[in-house]
Chain A
Amino acid sequence: MAYQATLHALADPTRRAIFEALQQEASSVGRLAEQLPVSRPAVSQHLKVLKGAGLVTERRDGARRIYGVELNGLVELRRYLDGLWDGALEAFRQEAEKKPSGRKGSRRGR
């Protein structure tokens, strides 16, 4: 689920720090590693997760890869929740209207 992936990605404080740094300014792995107390390989790993969650984009600048923030990841999250509650509440309505007497566990005729 996009929603879960987004939140999983952001649940890690280092990834949040990377995401935050990229929001200030698009950056390379090397620059991120300089700014944060994290090794370059670790930064790369975190970027991979953030990319997988649709939160970060990558573009090439010559030999370098520049990473930036992708807002659509958050749009997805919002959209997922919207759809979740639409579906869940409709199912709730159907269930609630089945037994207007309020009795539980009783058999009902159809």
Chain B
Amino acid sequence: MAVEKLSSYREPVRKSITVACDSAHAFSVFTSGIARWWPLATHSISTDRARECVIEPRVGGGVYEVRDDGERFAWGRVLAWEPPVRLVLSWHAGMPAELAQEVEVRFTPIAQGTRVDLEHRGWEALGPGAGDAHKGYNAGWESLFVKLFAAACAQPTTQPST
């Protein structure tokens, strides 16, 4: 499958913010401190029963939330762990792991502190997992989703108003 071609269609969500602290601190708050800022009540699988969320500090580490009874719900895995510069997570919070996307976060020192660039990408992965990639059912799904998604993103209804 022509991955280069697909990638030109996909439209990742990109966000940049500046935080007034050094990049080591920003990286640490983003990762080991994620439970202190992630909006768990609204953005979690167990919502009001979610107690905390965790990014394990190593490649292959788990990313998960913990419910009040101790049950864990996977959000993804750590794909790249490069403190204090870069973090890449696979991301499938609330969906089957085969629908994992990627979230990359970069921390760049600047005069005012740290610029944090986040990219949520990999829409073409919203298709078959490696295991069932050969099933005819799923043939064409990648390009279908990417095409539809790109078309949807191109619609003028998406307003960047804040």
Give me the interface of A with B, judged by CB distance under 8 Å.
1, 3-4, 7-8, 10-11, 13-14, 16-17, 19-20, 23, 69, 71-72, 74-75, 77-79, 81-82, 84-97, 99-102, 104
Contact = CB atoms under 8 A, between A and B. Distances in A.
Given A13-B132, A17-B137, A84-B43, A91 B148 contact: no
Given A23-B144, A82-B13, A102 B22 contact: yes
A89 B118 contact: yes
A17 B139 CA distance: 9
A77 B22 CA distance: 33
Interface centre among B29, B127, B144 (most CB of A within 10 A): B29
Contacts of B9: none
B24 A102 contact: yes
Given A72-B157, A96-B19, A102-B24, 6 more contacts: A16-B127, A75-B155, A92-B116, A96-B25, A97-B20, A99-B25
Given A7-B94, A74-B149, A93 B19 contact: yes
B97 to A, nearest CB: 10
Given A81-B120, A91-B38, A96-B26, A86 B137 contact: no
A22 to B, nearest CB: 10
B95 A7 contact: yes
Interface residues of B, number: 52
Contact of B138 (A7, A13, A91, A92): A13
A92 B38 CA distance: 7
Interface of B: 11, 13, 15, 17-22, 24-26, 28-30, 32-33, 36-39, 42-43, 94-96, 98-99, 114, 116, 118, 120, 126-128, 132, 135, 137-138, 140-141, 144-145, 148-149, 151-153, 155, 157-158, 162
Contact of A104 (B20, B33, B98, B116): B33
B95 A4 contact: yes
A96 B30 CA distance: 8
Centre residue among A4, A14, A16, A91 by max chain B CB count within 10 A? A16
A69 to B, nearest CB: 7
A16 B141 contact: yes
B153 A102 contact: no
Contacts of B13: 78, 81-82, 85
A17 to B, nearest CB: 5
A36 B132 CA distance: 18
